[in-house]
Structure 1
């Protein structure tokens, strides 16, 4: 079995599972507890009066 075949087999199996898990985690992340307040803070951060110059 060549290196290419081994890496291809890994990418077709475990890498796909890992990428799917990361995708699901990133889709669920905004809906966690406490996410509403941090989302609101991030949305309103452009309106703060911090002038650098």
Structure 2
């Protein structure tokens, strides 16, 4: 038996079985009963360092403010 035929039979049987077992295990791990808190914590990662905008005349000042009047117009 040449190498290609052996690897083809291996992939068609045992590797496919291993991939299915891995997939079912990953789904079971994600939906296990104790993981709700972990997933909620991970879902909040983008909002952890968020701060409220302060009322200052920064580079994004609104038109009509003193800072916005001194800034050049956008092209």
Q: TM-score, normalised by structure 1?
A: 0.82
How far the C-alpha of 1:7 sits from its partner, in A, is: 0.5
Q: Number of paired residues?
A: 50
**Matches of 1:3 and 1:30, distance apart in 2:** 37
State the Cα distance separating 1:36 from its structure 2 match: 0.1
Structure 2: unaligned runs, 5 residues or longer: 51-75
Specify the structure having the higher radius of gyration (Cα): 2
Superposed structure 1 runs of 4+ greater than 4 Å apart: none
- Point out the structure with the larger helix share: 1
Q: Who is 1:47 aligned against? A: 47
1:34 paired to 2:34: yes
Give the gaps of 5 or more residues in structure 1.
none
- SS of residue paired to 2:49: coil
Work out whether 1:18 is the aligned partner of 2:21. no
